[in-house]
């Protein structure tokens, strides 16, 4: 989506959107139009039961000389500081117009500050994202027509703010593409290639570990998961140094299971195709690194994607196998389907030893139990530090990628003890997301502030929402970008 900012409405064909708050006088917001158009718009809004709810739209065609102009009144609701309200309004406009036949959208942003106008544009662009590369028979009317958004009359500063939003959009696009691609196309090696291409020339240092390097480092937990697949595992580290070396690193670690069959503890056939997006955490980390590097964030951040395919095979690991992780701790693999925590364990140890982060945040589609507890609205947040948990939750609220904290503690942690090894990787269904977090907690080193985000319910959507259509949501990119901007760039 092309986005631009202008002082006045352009010439030619376009749909015109006019935001209205509950307290606005409609005829004042429409002062730009002639009397007949104003009256028509007001009457048709009433006929459509338009009550200015956030993102609600009333549509009218007005006569503007040569053209029948499509006019959209879009609601802004009553609460001024509702989080992510501008994004929602922008997204609602795109959702309405994407395949409408209109090619350009002009938004009358008179009275909006620059930041808000840029956020509206972000929402409009984010909601236009589609992945049509595998559709060879898309009918004419199913094809998107809207390609351009012009924001008119916003306060100065909108364009500067847009530069930042555009970087986040680039990240969102990468994440959604990675999450959407099927597992025959996207596997550990091609995931790495995609990231290399996307980050090319931006100054991100890339390091990739193959199995040989993993074996040398003693990453037995990660290798155990990968050994059942003909697609070899990879660990991808992307390093963005936007601040001087005195500033401590922030580490992001993403679970990147490019397909999760469950392994020998195989999953039921029903719905298994969803497990192509079991790399949503890694996808979010990659997209975040692209966003940070694109906008030249003044922070030192390392993003790690731990990539493997979990398959059943003659060489696959078995339930009961005991593996030794890079940390030296041993793990009894009770269930080969609890593979995410195994790969994350070694990735977390590696990044802590290699990059000495002050803060480490992992993102993982870790447990089905997460969807049972929080559904699809919030991702689960677990942390060993209250300050970090609060800062992440706040970034979640601001970005729209919402987080809800769950407890941890010794009583839960104890459940992961094994009678034969240091721990087991699975302990039954009760509190499944919490015991998984406790497992990961055993790999956090002294003094590191750590948070775990279980994004199982939020990286993929079965129905459209404000900022995305059905499919990959891009969850995590706006969140982590905001977290860095608000806490590590001062």
Q: Looking at the annotation, which residues are catalytic?
A: 267, 341
Pattern 308-337, binding to Mn ion, x per CB under 5 A?
A: -----------------------------x
Nearer to ligand BES by Cβ, of 122 and 277: the residue is: 277
Q: Rg of the chain over CA atoms, in angstroms?
A: 24
**Which residue number has the CB closest to Mn ion?**
337
Should residue 59 be labelled a site residue for Mn ion when binding is judged by CB under 5 A?
A: no
For the CB of residue 374, give the shortest distance to ligand BES in the complex, in Å.
12
Pattern 270-289, binding to Zn ion, x per CB under 5 A?
A: --------x-----------
| Candidate residues 260, 309, 401, 481; the one interacting with Mn ion per rule CB under 5 A | 260
For the CB of residue 47, give the shortest distance to Zn ion in the complex, in Å.
50
HSE (side-chain half, CA atoms, 13 Å) at 152: 18
In the DSSP assignment, the letter for residue 427 is -
Q: Taking Cα atoms as reference points, which of 116, 144, 154 lies closest to residue 2?
A: 144
Q: Taking Cα atoms as reference points, which of 237, 269, 233 lies closest to residue 251?
A: 237
User: What is the CA 471 to chain-centroid distance, rounded?
Assistant: 12
In the DSSP assignment, the letter for residue 458 is T
Should residue 332 be labelled a site residue for ligand BES when binding is judged by CB under 6 A?
A: no
| Candidate residues 368, 394, 405, 421; the one interacting with ligand BES per rule CB under 6 A | 368
Are residues 164 and 118 in contact, defined by beta-carbon separation less than 8 angstroms?
A: yes
426 binds, among Zn ion, Mn ion, ligand BES, none (CB under 5 to 8 A by kind): ligand BES
| Candidate residues 175, 261, 327, 365; the one interacting with ligand BES per rule CB under 6 A | 365
Nearer to Mn ion by Cβ, of 300 and 426: the residue is: 426
Judged by CB under 6 A, which stretch of 361-369, 390-398, 464-472, 475-483 contacts ligand BES? 361-369
Should residue 312 be labelled a site residue for ligand BES when binding is judged by CB under 6 A?
A: no
Q: For residues 380-419, which are near Mn ion according to CB under 5 A?
A: none
Nearer to Mn ion by Cβ, of 94 and 458: the residue is: 458
123 binds, among Mn ion, Zn ion, ligand BES, none (CB under 5 to 8 A by kind): none
Should residue 278 be labelled a site residue for ligand BES when binding is judged by CB under 6 A?
A: yes
In the DSSP assignment, the letter for residue 156 is T
CA distance 288 to 169: 10
Q: Please enumerate in sequence order all residues whose Cβ is within 8 A of that of 22, keeping only pairs 6 or more positions apart, or say none.
A: 52, 75, 76, 77, 78
Are residues 416 and 439 in contact, defined by beta-carbon separation less than 8 angstroms?
A: yes
Are residues 406 and 382 in contact, defined by beta-carbon separation less than 8 angstroms?
A: yes
Q: Left, alpha or beta for 216 (phi > 0: left; psi -120 to 50: alpha)?
A: alpha
CA distance 395 to 413: 28
For the CB of residue 369, give the shortest distance to Zn ion in the complex, in Å.
12
Q: Taking Cα atoms as reference points, which of 179, 172, 126 lies closest to residue 467?
A: 126
Nearer to ligand BES by Cβ, of 335 and 394: the residue is: 335
Nearer to Mn ion by Cβ, of 58 and 436: the residue is: 436
Nearer to Mn ion by Cβ, of 260 and 454: the residue is: 260
Should residue 340 be labelled a site residue for ligand BES when binding is judged by CB under 6 A?
A: yes
Q: 56 vs 75, 120, 330, CA distance in Å? A: 5, 14, 55
CA distance 10 to 14: 9
* Residues that bind ligand BES in the complex, under the rule CB under 6 A: 260, 278, 335, 337-340, 365, 367-369, 426, 432, 456
């Amino acid at each position: 989506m092309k986005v631009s900012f202008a002082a006045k409405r352009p010439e030619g064909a376009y749909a015109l959107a006019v935001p209205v708050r509950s307290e606005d006088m409609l005829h004042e917001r429409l002062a730009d139009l002639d009397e007949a158009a104003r009256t028509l718009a007001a009457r048709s809004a009433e006929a459509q039961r338009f009550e200015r709810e956030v993102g609600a739209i009333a549509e009218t065609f007005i006569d503007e000389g040569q053209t029948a102009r499509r006019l959209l009144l879009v609601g802004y609701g009553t609460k001024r500081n509702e989080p992510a309200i501008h994004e929602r309004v922008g997204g609602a406009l795109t959702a309405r117009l994407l395949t409408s036949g209109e090619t350009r959208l002009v938004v009358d942003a008179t009275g909006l500050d620059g930041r808000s106008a840029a956020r509206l544009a972000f929402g409009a662009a984010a909601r236009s994202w589609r992945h049509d590369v595998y559709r060879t028979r898309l009918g004419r009317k199913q094809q998107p027509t809207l390609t351009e958004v012009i924001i008119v009359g916003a306060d100065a500063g909108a364009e500067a703010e847009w530069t930042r939003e555009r970087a986040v959009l680039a990240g969102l696009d990468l994440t959604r593409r990675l999450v959407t691609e099927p597992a025959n196309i996207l596997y550990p090696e091609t995931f790495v290639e995609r990231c290399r291409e996307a980050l090319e020339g931006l100054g991100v240092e890339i390091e990739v570990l193959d199995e040989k390097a993993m074996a040398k480092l003693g990453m037995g937990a990660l290798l155990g998961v990968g050994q059942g697949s003909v697609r070899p595992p990879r660990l991808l580290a992307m390093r963005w140094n936007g601040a001087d070396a005195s500033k401590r690193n922030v580490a992001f670690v993403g679970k990147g299971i490019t397909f999760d069959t469950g392994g020998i503890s195989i999953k039921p056939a029903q719905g298994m195709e969803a497990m192509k997006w079991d790399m949503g955490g890694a996808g979010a980390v990659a997209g975040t690194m692209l966003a940070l590097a694109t906008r030249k964030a003044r922070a030192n951040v390392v993003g790690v994607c731990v990539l493997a395919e979990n398959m059943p095979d003659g060489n696959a690991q078995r339930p009961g196998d005991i593996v030794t992780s890079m940390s030296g701790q041993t793990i009894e693999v009770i269930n080969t389907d609890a593979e995410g925590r195994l790969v994350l364990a070694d990735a977390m140890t590696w990044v802590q030893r290699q990059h000495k982060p002050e803060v480490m945040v992992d993102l993982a589609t870790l447990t089905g139990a997460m969807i049972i507890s929080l559904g699809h609205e919030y991702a689960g947040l677990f942390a060993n530090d209250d300050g970090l948990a609060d800062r992440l939750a706040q970034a979640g609220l601001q970005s729209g990628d919402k987080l809800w904290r769950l407890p941890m503690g010794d009583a839960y942690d104890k459940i992961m003890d094994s009678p034969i090894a240091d721990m087991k990787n699975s302990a039954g269904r009760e509190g499944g997301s919490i015991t998984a977090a406790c497992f990961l907690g055993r790999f956090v080193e002294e003094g590191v502030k750590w948070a775990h985000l279980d994004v199982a319910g939020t990286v993929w959507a079965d129905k459209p929402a404000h900022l995305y259509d059905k499919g990959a949501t891009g969850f995590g990119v706006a969140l982590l970008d905001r977290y860095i901007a608000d806490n590590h760039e001062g």
